[in-house]
Amino acid sequence: MKMEGQYTFNNWYIPQRMMDGINRYLDYGVIPGGFLQAVICNDLMEAACRADIENRNNLPAFVAFFYHHTPSGCWGSQEKMLAWHERGGLTCN
């Protein structure tokens, strides 16, 4: 699942610089940095604390992206994130 370009949701967006980490996680199960881990685990308080200004201001876009465009088994809790990592993402069924 290769997301190209910048994802936009209403007035929020995911910065292009974040898409490589998201794509590596989705495709291969590579665990990303702390901010994306918190988003993936649905720990929005932690995500807000770990985010830079641009990502914090656009946090709704990250939530919308994972909710609307990714398999439910890859996000929502730390257990799901670790299971996705163990599975190897989408490329390793």
What do you get for the CA distance between the two ends of the chain, in Å? 13
pTM for the whole structure: 0.91
Q: How far apart are CA 53 and CA 67, in angstroms?
A: 22
Domain spans of the chain, in order of start = 7-87
pLDDT one-digit tens code per residue, 12-60 = 999 999 999 999 999 999 999 999 999 999 999 999 999 999 999 999 9
- The whole-number pLDDT of residue 89 equals 96
Q: Based on the number of CB atoms within 10 Å of its own CB, is 68 exposed (0-12), middle (13-18) or buried (19 or more)?
A: exposed
pLDDT grade for 92, boundaries at 50, 70 and 90: confident
Q: What is residue 5's DSSP assignment? A: S
